[in-house]
């Protein structure tokens, strides 16, 4: 019976998602469909209502709309231009400099939008245009643009990490800090690949160093550079929680926009607020139905069944995590990361103790894996986004990613096999 329920839970969900039903309604319709089946529990609207409400009624979930709003405000204040100019002055003059700028900008802007897909469509299109107008082949430009866009959701503040933390009931601040080293490793891996390609393919540089211009661009970028320092520093030193940090980020962005850059108006703030409210409404509905889905998964004994299947393989913790990462990678090639998290985290979290998996470590593994899936053929979402916002065909976009798969895969394997890469920093700050 449990095997049939597992097949129903997964089969109906993926069928609905595959035919284009939004993730939230796919989750809800799956539960209701199973309630109507002879093998499922009785249809109970009281339980549906209670679980839907409890999934939305979460204090830590407030971090999501506030980080979204902070990112949007920063993107319209002028911080984007200052950061891009600073990165260009910093690494532009070296061989393949604008490609390195791509990596540095993604590292600096990490987490501003909270979405790798949004980064590829937004700042990514700017980076692509800058490279192609300065002597780079379109295929070279689109490759590093797509690969570097996946850094954002690893380095804090990160929306996918907030989502995982809420679903797994883990500390957002601890997970934020745990993502720093893996995110930096990804950036270093891409920077090393760019350095090699620049030397072997004779990529151009962007002029010569001018220390006065570098210093001037740095001073202009300081307010933007301070944002992640304030957020992470405040969390580390106990000044505020991760949820409160999101509100601090909003206030800081508003102050910059009105009093430093003087580039936003009350009308801009209204439009940003409206967009954020719309996104928040859809997000909380997803969380409400995800909580309902997770409740019936547990009630039906699905996590226990999956646990018995996995433990029956007799594999070590590392091998188990590799197998789970493979499943997540496949899912991440054709589903948005948020949807995968909402579906898989409720299934996997109850298995952590039995499988010897650290929830903080695997949370970072899960997010890194899902980001890798976004640039992996045949259905990686970033591939299709780049096709739309650049002059490259889908085949050219896919080919352009080839040099970056191996170094990023090496980083993913290192993060899986060496938990200390994720856990050492939180332990050093007394968060574990």
- The token pair at 343 is 């579906």
CA distance 314 to 194: 41
Residue 158: predicted pLDDT: 80
Residue 118: predicted pLDDT: 64
pLDDT band at 17 (very low <50, low <70, confident <90, very high): confident
More confident residue, 363 or 140: 363
CA distance 96 to 133: 14
Q: Is the pLDDT of residue 264 over 90?
A: no
Q: Are 9 and 26 in contact (CB under 8 A)?
A: no
Q: HSE of 378 in the Cβ direction (CA atoms, 13 Å)? A: 0
Where do we find the tokens 């997970």?
Answer: 175
Q: Are 302 and 347 in contact (CB under 8 A)?
A: yes
Q: Is the pLDDT of residue 121 over 70?
A: no
Q: Are 317 and 356 in contact (CB under 8 A)?
A: yes
Q: Are 371 and 150 in contact (CB under 8 A)?
A: yes
Residue 188: predicted pLDDT: 92
pTM of the model: 0.82
The helix/strand/coil state of 356 is coil
CB neighbours of 242 closer than 8 A, spacing ≥ 6? 60, 63, 157, 162, 165, 171, 172, 173, 176, 235
Q: Is the pLDDT of residue 114 over 60?
A: no
pLDDT band at 129 (very low <50, low <70, confident <90, very high): confident
Cβ atoms within 10 Å, residue 88: 23
pLDDT band at 116 (very low <50, low <70, confident <90, very high): low
Percent of the chain with pLDDT over 90: 13
Q: What is the pLDDT of residues 265-306, one digit of tens each?
A: 889 889 988 888 887 887 788 888 888 887 777 777 777 777
CA distance 87 to 108: 9
- The token pair at 252 is 């800081």
Q: What is the pLDDT of residues 39-49, one digit of tens each?
A: 766 777 887 88
CB neighbours of 156 closer than 8 A, spacing ≥ 6? 110, 111, 176, 177, 179, 180, 228, 231, 232
Residue 119: predicted pLDDT: 66
CB neighbours of 359 closer than 8 A, spacing ≥ 6? 168, 170, 349, 352
CA distance 399 to 377: 10
Mean pLDDT of 378-391: 78
Q: Is the pLDDT of residue 75 over 80?
A: no
Q: HSE of 177 in the Cβ direction (CA atoms, 13 Å)? A: 23
Q: Is the pLDDT of residue 69 over 60?
A: yes
CA distance 169 to 363: 11
Mean pLDDT of 14-26: 80
Write down the mean pLDDT value for the chain. 82
DSSP 169: T
CA distance 345 to 328: 11
CA distance 288 to 23: 12
Residue 110: predicted pLDDT: 61
CA distance 261 to 79: 8
Residue 1: predicted pLDDT: 54
DSSP 42: P
More confident residue, 128 or 414: 414
Q: Which of 169-178, 323-332, 361-370, 409-418 has the lowest mean pLDDT?
A: 323-332
3-state secondary structure 260-278: HCCCCCHHHHHHHHHHHHH
Where do we find the tokens 């509100």?
Answer: 247
- The token pair at 203 is 């990529």
Q: What is the pLDDT of residues 244-254, one digit of tens each?
A: 888 888 898 89
Q: What is the pLDDT of residues 170-204, one digit of tens each?
A: 988 899 899 999 999 999 999 999 989 888 888 87
Q: Is the pLDDT of residue 207 over 80?
A: no
Q: What is the pLDDT of residues 315-333, one digit of tens each?
A: 788 888 998 898 888 887 7
Mean pLDDT of 20-38: 81
- The token pair at 369 is 């894996």
Q: Which of 33-42, 82-91, 233-242, 346-355 has the lowest mean pLDDT?
A: 33-42
The secondary structure of 222-266 as a DSSP string is HHHHHHHHHHHHHHHTTSS-HHHHHHHHHHHHHHIIIIIS----H
Q: Is the pLDDT of residue 99 over 90?
A: no
Residue 366: predicted pLDDT: 94
Residue 361: predicted pLDDT: 96
């Amino acid at each position: 019976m449990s095997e049939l329920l597992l097949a129903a839970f997964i089969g109906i969900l993926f069928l609905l998602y595959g035919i284009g039903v939004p993730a939230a309604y796919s989750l809800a319709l799956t539960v209701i469909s199973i309630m109507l089946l002879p093998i499922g529990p009785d249809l109970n609207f009281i339980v549906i209502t209670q679980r839907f409400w409890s999934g939305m009624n979460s204090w830590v979930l407030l971090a999501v709309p506030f980080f979204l709003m902070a990112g949007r405000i920063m993107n319209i204040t002028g911080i984007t231009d200052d950061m891009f100019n600073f990165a260009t002055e910093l690494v532009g003059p070296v061989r393949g400099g604008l490609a390195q700028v791509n990596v540095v900008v993604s590292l600096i802007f990490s987490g501003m939008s909270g979405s790798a897909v949004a980064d590829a469509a937004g700042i990514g299109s700017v980076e692509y245009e800058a490279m192609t107008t300065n002597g780079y082949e379109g295929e070279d430009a689109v490759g590093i643009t797509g690969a570097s866009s996946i850094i954002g959701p690893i380095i804090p503040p990160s929306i996918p990490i907030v989502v995982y933390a809420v679903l797994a009931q883990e500390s957002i601040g601890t997970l934020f800090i745990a993502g720093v080293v893996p995110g930096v490793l990804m950036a270093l891996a891409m920077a090393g690949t760019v350095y090699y390609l620049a030397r072997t393919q004779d990529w151009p540089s962007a002029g010569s160093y001018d220390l006065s211009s570098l210093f001037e661009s740095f001073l202009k970028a300081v307010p933007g550079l301070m944002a992640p320092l304030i957020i992470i520093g405040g969390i580390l030193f106990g000044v505020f929680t991760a949820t409160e940090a999101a509100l601090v980020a909003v206030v800081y962005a508003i102050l910059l926009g009105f009093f430093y850059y003087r580039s936003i108006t009350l009308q801009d703030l209204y439009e940003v607020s409206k967009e954020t409210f719309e996104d928040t409404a859809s997000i909380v509905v997803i969380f409400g139905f995800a909580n309902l889905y997770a409740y019936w998964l547990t009630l039906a004994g699905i996590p226990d069944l999956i646990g018995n299947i996995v433990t029956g393989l007799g594999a070590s913790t590392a091998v188990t995590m590799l197998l789970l990462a493979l499943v997540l990678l496949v899912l991440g090639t054709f589903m948005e990361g948020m949807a995968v998290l909402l579906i898989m985290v409720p299934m996997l979290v109850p298995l952590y103790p039995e499988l010897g998996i650290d929830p903080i470590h695997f949370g970072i593994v899960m997010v890194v894996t899902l980001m890798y899936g976004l640039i992996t053929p045949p259905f990686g979402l970033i591939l299709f986004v780049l096709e739309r916002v650049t002059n490259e065909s889908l085949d050219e976009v896919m080919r352009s990613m080839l040099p970056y798969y191996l170094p990023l895969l090496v980083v993913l394997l290192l993060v899986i096999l060496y938990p200390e890469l994720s856990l050492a920093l939180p332990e050093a700050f007394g968060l574990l």
